[in-house]
Amino acid sequence: MKTRQEYIDSLRRLNLEVYMFGERLTNIVDHPVVRPSMNAVAATYELASGEIMTATSHLSGERINRFTHIHQSTDDLVRKSKMERLMGAYTGTCFQRCAGMDALNTLSVITYDIDQKYGTRYYQRFLKYLRYVQDEDLVCDAAMTDAKGDRRLRPAQQDDPDMYTHVVKEVPDGIIVRGAKLHQTGALNSHEIIVVPTRAMREEDKDYAISFAIPSDTKGVIYIYGRQPSDTRKLEGGTYDVGNLHYGGHECLMVFDDVFVPWERVFMYKEHEFAVDLVEKFASYHRQSYACKSGMGDVLIGATQTIAEYNGIADAPHVKDKIVEMNHLNETIFCCSVACAHEGSRQSSGTYYVNPLMANITKLHVTRVPYELARMAQEIAGGIVVTIPSEKDLRDPKIGRWVDKYMKGVSGVSSEDRMRVVRLIESLTLGAGAVCYLPESMHGAGSPQAQRIMIQRMVNLKAKQTAALRLCGVEQA
Ligand code: SF4
Ligand code: FE
């Protein structure tokens, strides 16, 4: 396994084409806006020891980072949920490495299934690639969401054929692909990009039914950095106005400008009827992964309890009640994630898969709970979340004393400590950190309506009606 430092050094060797604020970036690793997100991924290397964060590879028998592991049991799936909570609480942000793990596991199921139907050799190809990822301990970025254009139209019906990523040409050694993937979490911190389809496909969409992996610095891949609230605070110098001093997340718009993919890295090619299964499996694995948000919830609850103490209101009955409520809600996220893992099952290839109904329940729950926690945190912290002066004003030789004097809460706690906790709550509920905590809870791993559709499809309503009617004596046909 790579050390934290080896991971950082490996990123320096990449030659990515990245743009931010209209300029091409040269040194990405040390860029102050990007660096916190890189630190969060680096933490997945830093903490890689023990039963939760590492596993034994079923290919090599070696100890590997769990983020590159293929689940061999429901115990593995449960450990995955625990790892995500642990990492969420350690970084207080999105650590960006789960979607890649979820894509690897999905492909370990789907490539096998395609081979069973068509006699293709995708699975062996995939296993060779997986071995490389595990041996080199790589970060894989899963690229799923296409631009989609007019949402009413299918891929092949769009005015602009590039609204969904597609193959434009077959060459002897591979394929040329064009299109874009949006909301690419952690793209700049990744060694590999794993592309998968974003929706069900029909026969006429088969040029869009493709899956492949490429090194992140492949020629023709262009990254355009996504803005976040308060992102430029990282450029201001100072220390604590960013809230989270160490970690952050990022997203990119990723463009494929006629990118070559060799055949040995193609894992699905026009088998359009498997796209829906791939999408649903990936979505379910990733919906389980949202245990990460219970880890971030741990941080927000910790900050909220602390600010209640610093404000002198921690003993107020309504505050105590709210802290209990925050814990109750937060634990239910983790309960759901562990439950879908525990109820997982073995697939034909040997990979273990979560219970998809429960995974969708997990994620739908996550689209609500963090917003409720954020509301209670803001209520308890008070209006200071959006009104306190900057760190520079606190340090100013002339006016700093006024800031220090009037930002004071209970005695024994410095104004600066109180302001630091406020900034952390601000970041988690309004600033750059809120992107990872709130909109990501809403839209990451699919927006709520996607989970509702899956729940509607999977839930056995008939059985529930039968149970009810038997008890009240209504005769059933
Ligand atoms: Fe992992 Fe959560 Fe970030 Fe998704 S949102 S990559 S599950 S930390
Ligand atoms: Fe996500």
Is it the case that residue 63 has pLDDT exceeding 90? yes
Domain end marker among 243, 273, 303? 273
Residues 355 and 255 in one domain: no
pLDDT in tens, 1-58: 999 999 999 999 999 999 999 999 999 999 999 999 999 999 999 999 999 999 999 9
CB burial readout 178-199, b (16+ within 10 A) else e: bbbbbbbbbbbbbbbbbbbbbb
Ligand 1 atom 1, closest CA:
98
Mean pLDDT, rounded, for 157-177:
98
Q: How many CB atoms lie within 10 A of CB 263?
A: 14
The burial class, CB within 10 Å (0-12 / 13-18 / 19+), for 396 is middle
Residue 13 is predicted with a pLDDT of 98
Mean pLDDT, rounded, for 440-456:
96
**Catalytic pick among 140, 252, 292, 340:** 292
Residues 174 and 110 in one domain: yes
Residues 110 and 180 in one domain: yes
Partners of residue 262 on adjacent β-strands: 174
Closest alpha carbon to 247 in 378, 141, 90, 138: 90
Is 98 marked active-site? yes
Domain end marker among 207, 240, 273? 273
Decide: 40 in ligand 1 pocket, CB within 6 A.
no
Q: What is the CATH number of the domain that holds 301?
A: 1.20.140.10
**Residue 234 is assigned to a structural domain of this protein:** yes
Decide: 291 in ligand 1 pocket, CB within 6 A.
no
Domain end marker among 224, 249, 273? 273
CA distance 142 to 67: 12
CA distance 445 to 283: 6
The minimum-distance atom of ligand 1 relative to the CA of 440 is: 5
Residue 410 is predicted with a pLDDT of 98
Q: Mean pLDDT of all residues in the chain?
A: 98
Residues 159 and 263 in one domain: yes
Decide: 140 in ligand 1 pocket, CB within 6 A.
no
**Residue 181 is assigned to a structural domain of this protein:** yes
* Residue 289: both structure tokens together: 């992964």
**Residue 278 is assigned to a structural domain of this protein:** no
DSSP states of 354-385: --HHHHHHHHHHHTTHHHHHHHHHHHHH-GGG
Is 440 marked active-site? yes
Decide: 370 in ligand 1 pocket, CB within 6 A.
no
pLDDT in tens, 169-205: 999 999 999 999 999 999 999 999 999 999 999 999 9
**Residue 282 is assigned to a structural domain of this protein:** no
Taking phi over 0 as left and psi of -120 to 50 as alpha, with beta for the rest, 133 belongs to alpha
Note the ligand closest to the C-alpha atom of 286: 1
Q: How many CB atoms lie within 10 A of CB 148?
A: 15
Helix ranges (H only) for 92-137 are 98-118, 122-136
Place 158 in a pLDDT band, splitting at 50, 70 and 90.
very high
Q: What is the CATH number of the domain that holds 201?
A: 2.40.110.10
pLDDT in tens, 360-387: 999 999 999 999 999 999 999 999 999 9
pLDDT in tens, 284-333: 999 999 999 999 999 999 999 999 999 999 999 999 999 999 999 999 99
CA distance 58 to 337: 24
Residue 477 is predicted with a pLDDT of 79
Place 245 in a pLDDT band, splitting at 50, 70 and 90.
very high
Ligand 1 atom 5, closest CA:
94
**Catalytic pick among 286, 310, 367, 437:** 286
CA distance 243 to 426: 7
Asked if residue 122 lies in contact with residue 282, where contact means CB atoms within 8 angstroms, the answer is no
Mean pLDDT, rounded, for 109-128:
98
**Residue 467 is assigned to a structural domain of this protein:** yes
pLDDT in tens, 137-150: 999 999 999 999 99
Residues 59 and 200 in one domain: yes
**Residue 379 is assigned to a structural domain of this protein:** yes
Distance 445 CA to ligand 2 centre (A): 5
Decide: 94 in ligand 1 pocket, CB within 6 A.
yes
**Catalytic pick among 84, 192, 251, 271:** 251
The minimum-distance atom of ligand 1 relative to the CA of 185 is: 6
**Residue 147 is assigned to a structural domain of this protein:** yes
**Residue 424 is assigned to a structural domain of this protein:** yes
Residues 222 and 292 in one domain: no
Is it the case that residue 346 has pLDDT exceeding 90? yes
Note the ligand closest to the C-alpha atom of 84: 1
For the chain, what is the domain count? 2
Residue 476 is predicted with a pLDDT of 86
Decide: 282 in ligand 1 pocket, CB within 6 A.
no
Residues 449 and 412 in one domain: yes
Residues 209 and 269 in one domain: yes
Residues 260 and 328 in one domain: no
Distance 43 CA to ligand 2 centre (A): 17
Residue 368 is predicted with a pLDDT of 98
Decide: 99 in ligand 1 pocket, CB within 6 A.
yes
Residue 248 is predicted with a pLDDT of 97
Is 185 marked active-site? yes
Residues 116 and 230 in one domain: yes
Is 290 marked active-site? yes
Residues 154 and 207 in one domain: yes
Residues 46 and 168 in one domain: yes
Place 463 in a pLDDT band, splitting at 50, 70 and 90.
very high
Mean pLDDT, rounded, for 414-443:
97
Q: Give the residue numbers spanning the domain of 67.
A: 4-273
Decide: 285 in ligand 1 pocket, CB within 6 A.
no
CA distance 206 to 222: 25
